[in-house]
């Protein structure tokens, strides 16, 4: 029987077991063809409330398990992801529109998150504090239940980035994946941890719409929410979490800059720029939206980048070897086309692409951009590269710092020290010298500044802070006596 046999999960949510959801079902569509791949259950607010109650009891028992037992579950989960990579990869290709390269990156990264989390289960979690006459210590304890709301673009990895460390640290987890990618971002994770031996109720998977997401944020039994998605939705979640005095880790949008200095290797720069802008059809929060190029290299860079764009094959990644697959749905496709059309009308020079064919959008290069160009000023979430020249490093720093986002930054230069000094002047959560902006590593903290988000998830220290509470404990040899 297949690992993802639909008779297990079809039309169901994972809530202590695979059961029908209160909000009915939703068809799973293949964006490249429109074909129906199956259907998933959808949760409503009542499902979320019941899951939170179930998680409270299951989480307490899970937190009491030895750390070695929790680590073993995470290691088995990593092995299962690797063992079933072919089947999981097919779902990523068909449901999320991933090309094979991107699907492989996502599966490998998700397995890495589990492996990293397995080590976190036995990491030091406290320290002794100076005190007289008693033992005084600070320790980290599980928060209880973590709500994870994940997006469509990297549905498996961006769920697992929070799920794995939260579980390793002794928490229960409720995942609400984007309903467009509920199999990759939810069902796969549920099946992996079922087979890995995680006790029932510790992880629950509740695909759903806005009602389910709002209920997860509002539920008093869910003290921490980890959200990955748009800045607009993140602002609303952050505001509501603030009212409820609960933590929200928000990984939001971006419009990341790639700075190509005068001494950069242009062939390598064009390769970096194309990968940063066009991987997964540009549907990545870290995607290179703005290419800032020294004027002395500007024309040649535009020519090389356009050449890359024109040579990249576009089509159905399930049936052909392509570099770009489909845009996730018609609404997002229309948004990308509108941004490109308005950008050309605003004065941008269309050098490559600019048009859609069915659900596929051609990799697009827009030159001579400035803040009046919508695709330069806004997050596109499509395969669009906007190029602009600069004359001095002071100007490059100022241009890269423009706008509300601050997620990722790339600097390409023959002088890495100068590149790092330039990056020090630009607000950004992630900095990559001599690389493009799309990078990820399970051992590294991830997050942005400004409108790109609040908080960090990833790496031992950030995960420990994200998914535990700090507790002060004192111990005396005998009961204290007071003059009362």
Beta strand pairing call for 405-406 and 408-412: unpaired
C-alpha span between 411 and 384 (Å, rounded): 19
C-alpha span between 285 and 405 (Å, rounded): 10
* Closest C-alpha to 172, from 59, 47, 52: 59
**Known catalytic membership, residue 261:** no
For residue 417, with 0-12 CB atoms within 10 Å meaning exposed, 13-18 middle and 19 or more buried, which class applies?
exposed
Beta strand pairing call for 449-450 and 36-41: unpaired
* Closest C-alpha to 327, from 338, 340, 336, 318: 336
* Per-residue buried b or exposed e for 231-264, using 16+ beta carbons within 10 Å of the residue's own CB: bebbebbbeebeebebbbbbbbbbbbbbbbbeeb
Q: Which member of 30, 95, 113, 251 is catalytic?
A: 251
For the record, the structure tokens of 191 come out as 């099946």
40 backbone φψ class: left, alpha, beta (φ>0; ψ -120 to 50): beta
**Known catalytic membership, residue 184:** no
Q: Which member of 285, 369, 379, 386 is catalytic?
A: 285
> Any bridge partners for residue 350, and if so which?
366
Catalytic residues: 251, 285
């Amino acid at each position: 029987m297949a690992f993802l046999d639909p008779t297990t999960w079809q039309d169901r949510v994972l809530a202590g077991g695979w059961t029908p959801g209160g909000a009915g079902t939703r068809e799973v569509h293949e964006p490249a063809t429109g074909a129906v791949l199956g259907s998933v259950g959808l949760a409503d607010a009542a499902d979320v409330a019941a899951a939170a109650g179930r998680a409270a009891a299951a989480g307490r028992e899970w937190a009491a398990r030895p750390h070695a037992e929790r680590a073993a579950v995470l290691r088995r989960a990593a092995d299962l992801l690797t063992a079933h990579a072919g089947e999981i990869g097919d779902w990523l290709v068909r449901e999320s529109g991933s090309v094979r390269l991107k699907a492989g990156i996502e599966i490998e990264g998700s397995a890495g998150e589990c492996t990293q989390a397995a080590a976190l289960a036995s990491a030091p979690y406290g320290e002794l504090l100076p005190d007289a006459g008693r033992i005084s210590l600070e320790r980290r304890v599980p928060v209880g239940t973590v709500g994870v709301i994940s997006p469509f673009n990297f549905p498996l990895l961006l769920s697992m980035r929070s799920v794995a460390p939260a579980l390793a640290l002794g928490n229960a987890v409720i995942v609400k994946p984007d309903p467009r990618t509920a199999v990759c971002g939810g069902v796969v994770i549920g099946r992996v941890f079922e087979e890995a031996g995680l006790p029932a109720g510790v992880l629950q998977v509740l695909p759903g719409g806005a009602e389910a997401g709002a209920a997860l944020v509002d539920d008093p039994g869910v003290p921490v929410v980890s959200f990955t998605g748009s800045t607009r939705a993140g602002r609303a979640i952050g505001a509501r979490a603030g009212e409820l005095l609960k933590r929200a880790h928000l990984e939001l949008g971006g419009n990341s800059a790639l700075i190509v200095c005068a001494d950069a290797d242009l062939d390598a720069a064009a390769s970096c720029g194309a990968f940063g802008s066009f991987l997964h059809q540009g549907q990545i929060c870290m995607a290179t939206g703005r290419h800032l190029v020294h004027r002395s290299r500007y024309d040649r860079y535009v020519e090389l980048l356009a050449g890359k764009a024109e040579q990249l094959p576009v089509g159905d990644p399930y049936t052909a070897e392509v570099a770009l697959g489909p845009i996730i749905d018609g609404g997002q496709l229309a948004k990308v086309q509108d941004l490109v059309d308005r950008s050309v009308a605003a004065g941008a020079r269309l050098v490559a692409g600019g048009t859609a064919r069915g659900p596929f959008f051609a990799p697009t290069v827009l030159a001579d951009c400035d803040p009046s160009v919508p695709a330069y000023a806004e997050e596109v979430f499509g395969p669009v590269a906007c190029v602009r020249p600069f004359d001095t490093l002071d100007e490059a720093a100022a241009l890269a710092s423009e706008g509300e986002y601050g997620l990722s930054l790339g600097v390409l230069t023959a002088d890495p020290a100068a590149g790092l000094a330039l990056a020090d002047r630009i607000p950004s959560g992630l900095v990559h010298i001599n690389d493009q902006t799309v990078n990820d590593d399970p051992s590294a903290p991830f997050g942005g500044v400004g409108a790109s988000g609040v908080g960090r998830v990833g790496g031992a220290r950030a995960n420990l802070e994200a998914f535990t509470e700090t507790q002060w404990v004192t111990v005396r040899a005998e009961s204290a006596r007071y003059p009362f």
